[in-house]
Structures are given as C-alpha cells and as structure tokens.
Structure 1
C-alpha cells in the first residue's frame, strides 16, 4: 500500500478552501468572531503566512491519519503484516479480489463525516467547555472540522 502524497496535499489544502467559505462574514464568520472574541484589529495583527502554513501542515497530518479510516485496504495490509506466519499470497489474493472496493469519493466522505462527528467535534467541544465558549462557537468550529473531514476523506479515498 502506497501513500498518495498528492491526495494528502490536496486534502490539506482543502481545509483552506473550506475555511475561506465557512468563516466568511456572510456564512459563519460574524458568529465565530463574536463567539470567539476575535476582533478585526486582532485579525489584522496576525501572521497570516504562519496561520495558513500551519493550517496546511495540520491538515496534512489529519489527512494522513484519515487514510486508515477511509481506505479499507489499509486495514488489510496492517492485519496481514501483524500476523506471524501469514502467507503473503493471502494478501495478494485479497487485493486482487477487493483491491479497489469502496475507493470512492462518496465512501470517503461517509467515513470522513463519522471521523469529524465522532472525533473532531468532541475534541473541539471539550476544549470549548474548558474555555467557557458558547454552544454556537462549538457548532461553528466543530462543524467546520466535520465538513473538512468529509471533504478530506473523499479526496484521500477516491484519489488513487
């Protein structure tokens, strides 16, 4: 099983595209600014090259891990290599029969949605609880990651 670094980079960059839309003032930007305590002045003072650069780095790390959730064949490879004495032809036969099964954008989005809903949203929500943020903040910030995980999962799963 090889890693498709182009898919991982595209998935990482997709977080920027979603963010530009999601946090636009006409979408959720004004709500997020109000609920997070962000001001126009604070936003202008940020190092945007660092912010966007680290967003892509973090997106790459998330996309790298999402592969294991959205591509079932990763599990087959890891299982085969963890079992001592398994004939390598068993994995070859499996991959010939099922090698591209469920490698679709739609399937990747499904698993990305589950990762976003059951992992990313609770992580954001837990942090928001301790930071005393509102439920609106949690839904806007967590919702962003649910959508990003869906899109990233679709890209990583479908791009072979």
Structure 2
C-alpha cells in the first residue's frame, strides 16, 4: 500500500469529526439520557470516570478508525459519494452488525444497539465524506 497518497490532514480532520459527532450524539439533549438509561448508568457513574483518559482513548480510537478507512479508500477515483457509501457500509455493515452480535449474546436492548450502531454509522459516513472529498 502506497501511504504517500494518504492525505494525513484529511485523516486528522475525519478523526476530529468522529469525536465531535460523538459529543453531539451522546449529549443529554440528543441520545445521552436514553444511552444512560439503557446502560443503567447515573450522572454520578458517568462523571465519576477519568475523563482525560476516556476522551483521549476515544480520540485515539477515532484516529485509528480514520486511518483504517483512509487505507480502504486509498484510490484517487474515490470521491465524496463513494466516500459516503464506504463510510456508511463500514459503519452499518461491519461495526453495526458486529455490535449487534455482541448485544444479542450480552442481552442488551435493541434501543442501545440503535443508539451505538447509529453513532458508528453516522460518524463513519461523515469520515468517508471527508476522506473522499479531501484528496
């Protein structure tokens, strides 16, 4: 794989977008309260974690996902539409289905799957758009 054709600025911006979408998606006004309810978490539980560690590792995970998606999309003919399609298929077709399998065995709710798989699908679709648009 020719890594010289990867736009590393696009990879970084896509990773930031993943983090930003998560901040919006899991905000209390959007899906945060439902996510907490489905996970049986209280405000104290959520605020009691090491936020620097959580945010830092979450950003690192988004960066790894962005690099991975950039490798799959490393073709100059891939534009915005293909990027959106690849991001969506990655989010729903891979992440969403595997999370779904875990949730079935863990007996987690369909609502929680919709929230988490929905986030992955939206975040990866946007990442694909950014990577496809910014060659």
Settle same-fold status: TM greater than 0.5. Answer: yes
- Tell me the alpha carbon deviations over residues 106-155 of structure 1, each in whole angstroms, 9 at most, x when there is no partner: 32111100111110101211221222210000010010000011011111
Which has the higher Rg, Structure 1 or Structure 2? 1
User: What's the offset of the Cα at 1:157?
Assistant: 1.8
Q: Which runs of 5+ in 2 are unaligned?
A: none
Match in the other structure for 1:117? 92
The TM-score with structure 2 as length reference comes to 0.89
Match in the other structure for 2:68? 65
Match in the other structure for 1:80? none
Match in the other structure for 1:41? 44
1:51-62 alignment, distance < 5 Å: 51-62=54-65
Aligned residues: CA RMSD: 1.4
Regions of 4+ moved over 6 Å: none
The TM-score with structure 1 as length reference comes to 0.76
Q: Which runs of 5+ in 1 are unaligned?
A: 74-99
Count of matched residue pairs: 132
